Amino acid sequence: MTRNEDNPIITLISSMVAPFIMLFGLYVIFHGHYSPGGGFQGGTLLAASIILLRLALGSELGKKQFPSRWGTPLGSLGVLIYFGTGLAALLLGGTFLNYAFLPFSPQASHNRYWGILSIEIGVGLAVMAVLVAIYDDLLEGEPRA
């Protein structure tokens, strides 16, 4: 899995398919309100697209797009976005995660809509980063052929 096999079919197909998987992952995150989806599911699809490239192209080429050292900090950043939304709600007068107090719009229902979207984005980022980090850690000690 760490070597680049130089198989033209795998290289071509995976490079073509990965952007579409990412796009679908973003679609699933943003449409969690209206259809099955949400942060966890979309984050897993985003991680799948990144891991596909690592599997197909080998470790060196696959890590050019998403280096492994970004894993843990991006995961923390994603959960901090979630936490920040709740904290903003707490500081602006309500209880933690009470989206009605967010400053996006004067109507409470719109604020709840934007609040949920914001935490789903945080969760999607965190799940993507953590799944890629798990994959990288499990392959860390593999001997180079």
Q: For binding to another protein (CB under 8 A), which residues are involved? A: 34-36, 38, 40, 72-73, 76-77, 79-80, 83, 86-87, 90-91, 94-100, 127, 130-131, 134, 137-138, 141
**Shortest approach of another protein to residue 29 CB, angstroms?**
14
Q: What is the helix, strand, coil percentage profile of the chain, to 5?
A: 70, 0, 30
Q: How many CA atoms lie within 13 A of 69 on its CB side?
A: 0
State which residue, 14 or 25, has the beta carbon closest to another protein. 25
State which residue, 26 or 90, has the beta carbon closest to another protein. 90
State which residue, 62 or 115, has the beta carbon closest to another protein. 115
**Shortest approach of another protein to residue 108 CB, angstroms?**
9
**Shortest approach of another protein to residue 106 CB, angstroms?**
17
State which residue, 53 or 81, has the beta carbon closest to another protein. 81
**Shortest approach of another protein to residue 97 CB, angstroms?**
5
User: Would you say 29 and 121 are in contact if contact means Cβ atoms under 8 Å apart?
Assistant: yes
State which residue, 6 or 140, has the beta carbon closest to another protein. 140
**Shortest approach of another protein to residue 15 CB, angstroms?**
27
